[in-house]
Structure 1
Amino acid sequence: MAKFVLAGRTDCPFYAKAELLADALQRSLPNFKTRKISILPDEWKDWLEATCQRQGWKHDKSPLVWRELVDEGGSCMLLGGFSDFLEHSQDYYGITSDMPTDMMLSVAAENLEIKMNLIKEEQHRASLIKALHIWISGALSSACHLLIPNLLTAEVFPHTTAISLHLLDVEGDEEELQGLRMETEDLALPLLHQVTIHTDLEQAFQEADVILLLDEWCSGGNDTEEEKKKKVKEMSERYIEYGQLIDMRAKKEVKVIVTGSSFVSLRCSLLVKKAHVIDSNQFVAMATQLENEARAILSNKLKVRASDIKDVIVWGNISGSFYIDLQRAKVFNYNGAIKGPSFFCQSVLNIFHDRFVTTKMISVTDLQHGPAISTANGILTVLKAWNGNCSPDDIFSLGVVCPGYCDLPDGIILSVPVTFTQGKWSVLFDVTVGNELKERLHLSASKVQQVCQVTKTSGDVATICCAHLDVLFSQKRFQRY
């Protein structure tokens, strides 16, 4: 089966002539298929340059015709312009085009008018739909693929009727993003209004209501010191730019969640430093995956399900020195000396006699990305709570700005216990913070603050970050003991 793609400037007479020829071929040949791409005049040059650069072609005029060797999105073979298309049609199919010049000009003008009317209609329809705009960076990550089907639901966004999903991956392949877009559309999710893809920051975070940052900068085990410094510098520069763009383009009530397994607290702190208009309470870093892993360890020791463990607290630097606190933790369905109905719970500390569990960690330098399932689940958990789908008594570990709490400095993101009420989080003060924990929190805060300060003043963050790289890349996971 022959499948040709015609792309051209909407007001181009030769594009109109190529359309007429393609229609004639399609009527005459049952296995001849065409796809038409009409580009507005002021967008044509940039579109043509980007397409030719991506495909490795050389072409400088309208129309552009190529053949797809398989279905849409597959390998492509350049045919050329209108003359090449006409010659191919005559040689292979014996069909030509005899459209006179005045008709070419008339059809071209009609094409432009129809295109402009369609754009106006689409803009009008879009204005009638009050869609929630969700931006996901690092969209080609495994976590994003797992997240999307469960994200666009009424359970996560209970008061939303439509969602516009924007998939951003600055270093990603556009064809892969197109594939993800089509897969997402194929899900036919009731709340999904539209999906857009982005490989640059030109439109990033425009009108954003929710921003989920999944970017990772994990170091490989064989990276040299210079390679590590380069990754840290790239990460810092990227998040400084993210913070500025969010400040300029996102809605003032935007919810921003930073997640991953590297520099989580630091990345979120950099955003807060650069976003001056948006309330710092709208930026959070996710520690849910650490909390859930601690629950899994405890459940193994207590011979219960992980879901039977509640209210474990994670303190500190999420991807650095963090600490697990069991002072509020409770367990359900524990098979011990005291038993009760399913709603009966016992304090974990009454079973374990340690008030603090200092985590033992192992090296995972071979891990290139954070655990995708845990990351996706953590994002959904936080969003549900943030959108009011939780009990006010539920305790969450969340990286937030908490100035004055234990005399911590302003603008630094650390994991602390919080609760959610009516779509807002608040730090839980009804917990005991001893001198040992306070010292550890201040040490974590000082390291993050030091990096942020250097970034703010000189922009050269690599050297000071790399002083902590060995700790970061060797202390990632709980030891399952």
Structure 2
Amino acid sequence: MAKFVLAGKTNCPHYAKAELLADSLRRSLPNFTVHKISILPDDWKEWLEATCERNGWKHEHSPLIWRELVDQGGKGMLLGGFSDFLEHCQEYYSITSDMPTNIMLSVAAENLETKINLIMDEQHRVSHFQPLQIWIGSALSPACHILIPNLLSTEVFPQISAICLHLLDLDGNEEGLQWLKMETEDLALPLLNQVDIHTDLEQAFQEADVILLLDEWWSDDTENEDEEEKKRKIKEISDLYTEYGRLIDARAKKEVKVIVSGSSFVNLRCSLLLNNASSIDSRRFVTMATQLENEARAIMAKKLKVRTSDITDVIVWGNISGSFYIDLQRAKVFNYDGPIKGPPFFSQPVLQVFHDRKWLETEFQDFVRCQRAAVVSKTCQGAAMSATNGILTVLKAWNGTSSPDEVLSLGVLCTGHNNLPDGVVLSVPVTFSDGKWSVLFEATVGDELKERLQLSASELRQEKELGSENGMIVMNEEEET
């Protein structure tokens, strides 16, 4: 099989003539193949010199034509310019070229125009190829290892063709991040375009579309830590998330989606971001209570002898990391083995089939708190799988891949409506529609719940004060006395 390579300046008439001669041979001879390389006039000299040096050839003009020894391997056999190619075709194939000069010039001009248009189309395509920029804070946490394989999917980001993943860990070593990067790349996920690692804040949140913050502040003995240790921890959180907020404000895209995950000080952390990212809509910042929702669903499912997935629409109110309240006013149960039964899509209100209100107000609330504490005491960190599931659930809803009727509990900035405290981040029931969340105002906020929410708000304000500069001055005065 003969394979000829034709290279030349796009506006070269002799290159145009060689092209048409080669096309004629390809139509006549089934085993004759041609590969064409069209080079812009300004790039021709440099390309020609590099090609000749690489192959040990001497050639000075356009076109450059050689024959590749497809069956034998090795470097190609140089033929030369157009005259050499024409002589070769006449001798071996008895085919010649009688193209008039005017047609030769016309084809050359057309070649140049086509090449320029192709380059412009490619530049336009590249300029519009903007991968989604996802930043993950505390990337060496256990949750991140579970999150990554599930995050980079069309199920979570249905309209996205490529994702750049940024792994940020200020406390981690670069070697650990390199291993995580390598593992991520080895997954060969279709949406993954690039993985970058960061151990400082120099480039943090640059052009971010999505920011997932997995930071935790658990200690080996969280339950028994003293007040001074708590103050120190809150000050550390305050300093970091104040800086995070400023960087997000300056560097992230204005339509960024920020999710604060974890079990420790999540409302406070989200509030600090909001306070320091004033140019970004406060609705772009949320923290999730899905872990608490799922823990409550699991406990209730055991009580009703159904699967956890058969319990829906559980609401978490208040301070996710502190004085929260599990509310079943809208909760439904499917597949319940009671007096009334129906098909799989049939549900009943939980409060209609479970009548022990005292247990719901006391032991049930305590069980949810104890379940979380048990995880922390064993691992000294949040529940990684539960955190991952929560992040994915919120992102799917935010990106429009979940039912608009689905109710989720999110920590968001409250604005004083519907008896909710004003100006604090509290967990409330929300629904998503068209990529935006709305507080579910159909949920009843009675006097007792209102008091609970005021307690949560007061608790959060105290946490914020402890992390402020004034809080530190008070601490120092107390130490001196």
Is 1:212–1:257's contact at 8 Å kept on the other side of the alignment?
A: yes
Distance in 1 of aligned mates of 2:336 and 2:466: 49
Q: 1:213 to 1:124 in 2, by over 3 A?
A: farther
2:247 aligns to what? 245
The residue identity in structure 2 corresponding to 1:341 is P
Where 1:437 maps in the other structure, the secondary structure is helix
Give 2:147's aligned residue.
Answer: 147
For the pair 1:434 / 2:446, whether they are aligned, the reply is: yes
Deviation digits for residues 227-285 of structure 1 (CA, Å, limit 9, x no counterpart): 44332221111011111111111000000000111001111111111110001111001
Letter in 1 for 2:145: H
* Cα distance change on mapping 1:225 and 1:438 into 2, 3 Å: closer
Matches within 5 A, 1:27-106: none
> What CA deviation, in whole Å up to 9, does each residue of 1:336-368 have, x standing for no partner?
111111111111000112565440133546241
- For 1:162-186, what per-residue CA distance to the aligned partner results, in whole angstroms no more than 9, with x for missing partners? 1000000001010000000010011
| CA positional deviation for 1:159 | 0.6
Is 1:349 aligned to residue 361 of structure 2?
no
- More helix, by proportion: 2
**Is 1:330 aligned with 2:342?**
no
Q: Determine the structure 1 residue equivalent to 2:211.
A: 211
Counterpart amino acid of 1:434? Answer: G
**Would the alpha carbon gap of residues 349 and 406 (structure 1) be closer, same or farther in structure 2, given more than 3 Å must change?**
same
Equivalent residues of 1:265, 1:318 under 8 A apart: yes
With normalisation by structure 1, the TM-score equals: 0.68
Q: Which residue of 1 aligns with 2:414?
A: 402
Residue 74 of structure 1: aligned partner: none
Residue of structure 2 equivalent to 1:390: 402
What displacement does 1:391 show?
A: 1.2
CA contact (8 A) 2:318 2:325 kept: yes
Superposed, 1:172-321 pairs within 5 Å as: 172-221=172-221, 225-321=227-323
Task: Tell me the alpha carbon deviations over residues 143-177 of structure 1, each in whole angstroms, 9 at most, x when there is no partner.
Answer: 00000000000000011011000000001010000
Residues 430 and 439 in structure 2, CA contact (< 8 A), matched pair in contact too: yes
SS in 2 for 1:319: coil
- Aligned residue for 1:458, secondary structure, equals helix
SS at match of 1:164: strand
Contact 2:415 2:422 in 1 (8 A): yes
SS in 1 for 2:167: strand
Aligned position for 1:411: 423
Counterpart of 2:439, as a letter, is V
Give 1:433 shift. 1.1
- Using a 3 Å threshold, how does the CA distance of structure 1 residues 127 and 198 change in structure 2: closer, same or farther? farther
Q: Which moved more, 1:373-382 or 1:362-371?
A: 362-371
Select the residue among 341, 363, 381 that pairs with 1:369. Answer: 381
- CA displacement at 1:452 relative to structure 2: 2.6
Do 1:406 and 1:438's aligned partners in 2 also have CA atoms closer than 8 Å?
no
- For the residue of structure 2 that corresponds to 1:381, the secondary structure is helix
Give the AA of the match of 1:211.
I
CA contact (8 A) 1:273 1:411 kept: no
Q: Is contact 2:234–2:467 with CA below 8 Å preserved after alignment?
A: no
| C-alpha deviation, 1:124, in angstroms | 9.9
- 8 A contact 2:411–2:427 mirrored in 1: yes
Choose 199-208 or 360-369, whichever is displaced more: 360-369
Q: CA deviation at 1:406?
A: 3.9
Taking the aligned partners of 1:274 and 1:172, their CA distance within structure 2 comes to 25
Q: Distance in 2 between matches of 1:456 and 1:253?
A: 28
Show the counterpart of 1:83. none
1:333, 1:461 → 2: CA distance? 57
CA distance 1:457–1:407, shift in 2 (3 Å): farther
Q: Aligned partner of 1:141: which letter?
A: S
* Closer/same/farther in 2, CA of residues 339 and 226 from structure 1, 3 Å limit: same
Tell me if the contact between 1:140 and 1:169 (Cα under 8 Å) persists in the aligned partners: yes
Amino acid of the structure 1 residue aligned with 2:208? A
Aligned to 1:160: 160
Specify the SS of the correspondent of 2:472.
coil
For 2:135 and 2:241, the matched residues in 1 are separated by 15
Structure number, greater radius of gyration? 2
Distance 2:469 2:307 in 1: 49
Quickly say closer, same or farther: Cα 1:395–1:357, change in 2 above 3 A: farther
Displacement of 1:211 in angstroms is 0.3
Q: Which of the numbers 440, 444, 451 marks the counterpart of 2:463?
A: 451
Residue segments in structure 1 that go unaligned for 5+ positions in a row: 1-122, 465-481
| Structure 1 residue 451, shift from structure 2 partner | 3.0
Question: Runs ≥4 in structure 1, deviation > 6 angstroms?
Answer: 123-126
Look up the equivalent residue of 2:443 and give its one-letter code. V
Q: Which residue of 2 aligns with 1:16?
A: none
Are the structure 2 counterparts of residues 463 and 270 from structure 1 closer, same or farther at C-alpha, using a change threshold of 3 Å? farther
**Equivalents in 2 of 1:338, 1:407: separation in Å?**
36
CA contact (8 A) 1:268 1:283 kept: yes
Amino acid at match of 1:424: K
Deviation at 1:450, TM superposition (A): 3.2
Q: Distance in 2 between matches of 1:249 and 1:292?
A: 34
Q: Which runs of 5+ in 2 are unaligned?
A: 1-122, 477-481
